[in-house]
Amino acid sequence: MNDARLLRRGWTTGACATAAAKAAYAALLAGAFPDPVTITLPGGGEAAFALAETARSADFATAGVVKDAGDDPDITHGALIRVRVSPAPAGAGVVFRAGPGVGMVTRPGLPIPPGEPAINPVPRQMIRAAIGEVAASHGAAGDVIVEISIENGEKLAEKTLNPRLGIQGGLSVLGTTGIVIPYSCAAWIASIQRGIDVARAAGLTHIAGATGRTSEAAVRQLHGLSETALIDMGDFVGGMLKYLRQHPVPRLSIAGGIAKLAKLGQGRLDLHAKRGLVDFAALATLAQRAGAPAPLADAIARAETALHAETLARDAGFALADAIAGAAWTVAADLLAGSGIALEILVFDRGGDLLGRAPFAPVHRAPRNRRT
């Protein structure tokens, strides 16, 4: 069951909102809710949604769809996406509003400008198309106010990056295909990119990508960084670096634990354990090239974990964590080639103490010979 092909796909928040908006507008014009309601997906094809609730009066209609994210561990799985459609002034087109549980954008750098509901461009396009389809079938103009709400969205948003990105009051309405692919890294990488965009728009000159909470807290304290400067890259260091090469900032710190940064130094750009473990033979070779005596290198090759290897080295008075940081710097710098970013690598232990460091140095071209 680990094969994504065997996992059930689901629907994005944007697709659910589109279905609810289409059903509500049809009821506003014709007095009846289509149930199930069928929408067209951005990539072609159709999807049908059952309605969880409906309400109608003379001047508005509301429909709700319960989000089914399939087998993906999406925090909005099971949430009620509710859309209220009401008439707008002639010529207004589709006007979007944030109801309870949908956030508002407060900072520049996101696809939607400050002061607008956090309803992303593709869901907006989907909803406009669905409203236009209903309007055309009933000879209407399609001038409506679409208010989207997400039940318990404000509480759910606390578990997302929205507060850090300056989206206040709730969740975002997301989706580029309408389909949720289980365990896809696309959503995480998109959040990394938006975090970089917001930091750049805020004029920040130094950001930090961290593999986890401990290293994030440690690098923040070390450099006195603001929350906006912190990029939750998780295991997706490659996705972060590739985006930064095209959207650079003056200074970048990469912070993580010994095992994940050892894997980066060995050329891995996805640091998740399922993508591979630390190569201890390669780690021993790195240590020997950096001056470790042969007995220590042999012990490192037989180490059970990266932390065990670092402990062996520390007890022998050898700075293995510095060597790992240097190797990680070289790999990361290769991906940032030509960006001019000043790059730093920081290796922290599980308590947040600094074990090793490759200090800031500018990346002008792929510096393959800088460190070994």
Q: pLDDT digits over 4-61, tens only?
A: 456 788 899 999 999 999 999 999 999 999 999 999 999 888 999 999 999 999 999 9
Please name the amino acid found at residue 216: E
Residue 180 confidence (pLDDT):
76
Check the CA dihedral 70-76-79-83 and report its sign: negative
- Retrieve residue 114's tokens: 């400050």
Neighbours of 46 (CB within 10 A): 9
Check the CA dihedral 100-101-106-109 and report its sign: negative
pLDDT digits (tens, 9 = 90+) for 281-321: 999 999 999 999 999 999 999 998 998 999 999 999 999 99
Between 199 and 4, residue with greater pLDDT: 199
Q: What is d(CA 80, CA 242) in angstroms, rounded to the nearest whole number?
A: 36
CA 9 to the chain's CA centroid = 19
Q: Are 353 and 361 in contact (CB under 8 A)?
A: no
- Retrieve residue 264's tokens: 């980066």
Neighbours of 30 (CB within 10 A): 14
Q: Which residues contact 210 (CB under 8 A, 6 or more apart)?
A: 216, 219, 230, 231, 232, 233, 254, 255, 256
Q: Is 122 helix (H, G, I), strand (E, B) or coil?
A: helix
